[in-house]
Structure 1
Amino acid sequence: MSQPLRVIFAGTPDFSVAPLQALLDSEHQVIAVYTQPDRPAGRGRKLTASPVKQLALQHNIPVYQPLTLKDPDAQAEVAALNADVMIVVAYGLILPQAVLEMPKYGCLNIHASLLPRWRGAAPIQRAIQAGDEKTGVTIMQMDVGLDTGDMLYKTETAIQPEDSAQSLHDRLMTMGAEALIATLNDLQELQDEAQKQDESQVTYAEKLSKAEAQIDWSQEADSLQRLIQAFNPWPVAFCDFEGKPLRIWQARLPQADELNNEAFDKTAPAGTVQLVNKAGIWIQTGNGILCLQTLQAAGKKAMPAYDFAQSRQLQGQKLQ
């Protein structure tokens, strides 16, 4: 773009902070920030501003926190800002058609997947859980559908076996910020060359639930390992140990040479502790061995699995 853009930024959680900071560091002008209303947080349930609001206030940017953008007064506020473009990153409110059309260049969204794969609420976690080899960020021209708009810019990254949802979130957050600035700097040309999404390739990233974080040891080891990594840091995979939940923060699959250990009884029931050593706690699954590396007992802090095992006779026990 030959001229800096007047930008409205709409976002709420940590994932939105890096793109907002990138805008503040750029030549573009952030004229207003939209974010969710302050929510109770912490043990005292004190009303707390979102990470995006906190950053906006540090830079003396006007902050708007409507309960809905369907309200005529809220829409009038957006229109009065006379923005060139609105950037939406994990904002949490639906943008009606009227709002989508208000900025000169419309509304853009940073989505943490390679659309049309993983539209919806939990694209980072679902990509890990499904065993995808790669994911990335898509900058999309928003329409009224759920992540259905035309694609302007994509960038990708490999998903590593050790990636948790947190580590992948952090990487994509930085990539999204860089992709946003690249898109804005070439916006008109990218809009002219926008690509439609292939509806035959669509998958949906359903919202996570605590119930699906419960481990079923009869599943295959690789599926369980991906679930554990995908649900870190929330809702955190867990099993039952001595009548209480045991949270599993990290696990890995064995190397080929580790499977030759004579302690492994391949006929043991799923959930049986086959071995305890400094590498972790080795569990028999429905198909294969899984090494638990970081655990958290009820009321305790997370710790290495080997440390957890020191005061307990685990070998041969069956986790539920």
Structure 2
Amino acid sequence: MRIIFAGTPEPAVPTLRALIASHHDVVAVVTRPPARSGRGRTLKPSPVALIATQAQIPLIETSTLKDPEIHQRIAAAGPDLGIVVAYGALVPADVLDMPQHGWINLHFSDLPKYRGAAPVQRAILNGEVTTASSVFQLETGLDTGPVFSRLPVDIGHMTSGELLDAMAVTGAQQIIEVVDAIEEGTACAHAQVMPEDTVVPLAPRLSSADGVISFDEDAAAVDQRIRAVTPNPGAYTTMPNGKRLKLESGEVVEHPDVTGAPGTLHISKREVLVSCREGAFRLRRVAPEGKGWMDAAAWARGARLDEDARLGHWQGE
């Protein structure tokens, strides 16, 4: 089939690569325009744009699919099917109708749960043990279309970045299987079932506020929050001097001697434990404001902290 692909960040790359390697013909790629990044704030093309350019596939760089000129370019490509993986903008109804088979989307959640921009992050933040990637038919509603395929995934102790990378790889083959079935006329999509008397969790994009760690939660919730915001928008707490301390994922520990108010530090030569509202959390690596990542114990040895020092927004109590 003639495929038009829409995607932007790194998690979309495995699917594009799989489509290029398949017997299907990727006739055009839609992606967001170059964005500024790095210290020099230089414009860099999206990861998807780089792959499309290498494969010499016609590239449509746009932040919106509502532009009539973009409509003309998509129609001129003559696609049989459109595929979306993390493009970053909605596909309007008239564009949805252009390909003979419409558009399908690889979404990194077990639909109808976690419709929205940050399904993996929200699943981890909410303490889910498992999730799934779903391939569904795009409609004008937000992630509401019938589902062709569901692939379960164990979350384990992965960060959102690690989980998203893993799901992007397995989801690429999932997409190929659905595309092949559509071509053969054997694909079957089922309407999303909304559990009765259940509020289905949504997945709005996380902000930097979601990464604030005060330790005024139980240790398991602290662990979930840090993993959910890693690598973006990132986790941080506040040091006794008021400066930020960035945090990488650590681990929940059972330690009867770790007591005290939330945020209280327990420092030894080999580890740094922090009291939570319930339980304790072991810091792994930290980055003081303006510095790079370092082992938490090495940071604590050089920080010259008071014996009763606490992390979090507790200064001035």
The normalised TM-score by structure 2 is: 0.92
Read off the aligned partner of 1:11 and give its amino acid letter: G
Alignment partner of 1:310: what SS? helix
Q: Give the counterpart letter for 1:287 in structure 2.
A: E
What is the aligned partner in structure 2 of residue 248 from structure 1? 247
Q: Which residue of 2 aligns with 1:281?
A: 272
What is the CA–CA distance in structure 2 between the aligned matches of 1:208 and 1:97, rounded to whole Å?
Answer: 27
Distance 1:191 1:78 in 2: 26
Segment of structure 1 superposing worse, 164-173 or 65-74: 65-74
Who is 1:229 aligned against?
Answer: 227
CA distance, structure 2, for counterparts of residue 168 and residue 192 of structure 1 = 27
Alignment partner of 2:120 out of 117, 124, 134: 124
Deviations 1:42-92 (A, max 9, x none): 222222111101110001110012342222222122112111101111111
Counterparts in 2 of 1:66 and 1:217: CA distance versus 1, 3 Å? closer
| CA–CA distance in structure 2, aligned partners of residues 67 and 129 of structure 1 | 29
| SS in structure 1 of the partner of residue 79 of structure 2 | coil
For residue 183 of structure 1, what is the amino acid of its counterpart? V
**What letter is aligned with 2:192?**
Q
Structure 1 runs of 4+ with >4 Å offset? 188-192
> How far apart, in 2, do the equivalents of 1:65 and 1:101 lie?
20
CA deviation after TM superposition for structure 1 residue 274, in Å: 2.5
Letter in 2 for 1:120: G
Give 1:277 deviation, angstroms. 4.2
Q: 1:191 to 1:99 in 2, by over 3 A?
A: farther
Aligned with 2:213 (options 212, 215, 220): 215
Instruction: Give, in whole Å, the separation in 2 of the partners of 1:250 and 1:208.
Output: 17
Match of 1:185 among 156, 180, 187: 180
In 2, distance between residues paired with 1:220 and 1:119? 27
Closer, same or farther in 2 for the Cα pair 1:39/1:276, shift >3 Å? same
CA distance in 2, matches of 1:221, 1:157: 24
Deviation at 1:188, TM superposition (A): 5.5
Question: Does the aligned pair in 1 maintain the 2:84–2:105 contact within 8 Å?
Answer: yes
Deviations, residues 172-221 of structure 1 (Å, cap 9, x unaligned): 11011111111111125787521111234632011101112111222111
Contact 1:35-1:53 within 8 A present in 2 as well:
yes
Distance 1:136 1:313, change over 3 A: same
Counterpart AA for 1:35: T
Query: Residue in 2 aligned with 1:318?
Result: 310
Where does the alignment leave 5 or more consecutive residues of structure 2 unmatched? Answer: 313-317
SS of 1:219 mapped into structure 2: coil
Q: Over aligned residues, Cα RMSD in angstroms?
A: 1.6
1:271 maps to a residue whose letter is G
Tell me if 1:303 matches 2:294.
yes
Partner of 1:82 in structure 2? 78
Count of aligned positions: 307
Partner of 2:156: 160
CA contact (8 A) 2:65 2:71 kept: yes
Any conservation in 2 of the 1:38–1:48 contact (CA below 8 Å)? Answer: yes
Distance 1:97 1:283 in 2: 51
Residue 22 of structure 1 deviates from its aligned partner by: 0.6
Paired residue secondary structure (1:194): coil
Identity among equivalent pairs (%): 35
For structure 1, which runs of at least 5 residues remain unmatched after alignment?
A: none
Q: Contact 1:183 / 1:190 at 8 angstroms: preserved in 2?
A: no
Tell me the amino acid that sits aligned with residue 266 of structure 2. Answer: Q
Tell me what 1:91 maps to. 87
Please, which moves more after superposition, 97-106 or 309-318? 309-318
Q: Is the 8 A contact 2:236 2:246 kept in 1?
A: yes
Is residue 86–residue 106 contact of structure 1 (8 Å, CA) maintained in 2? yes
Specify the alignment match of 2:29 in structure 1: 33
Question: Is 1:204 the counterpart of 2:202 in the alignment?
Answer: yes
Equivalent residue, structure 1, for 2:282 = 291
1:220-246, Cα deviation, whole Å (9 max, x unpaired)? 111011101111101111111122100
Q: Is the 8 A contact 1:152 1:191 kept in 2?
A: no
Tell me the equivalent position of 1:171. 166
Deviations 1:129-182 (A, max 9, x none): 111111121001000011111100111111112x11111011011011111111
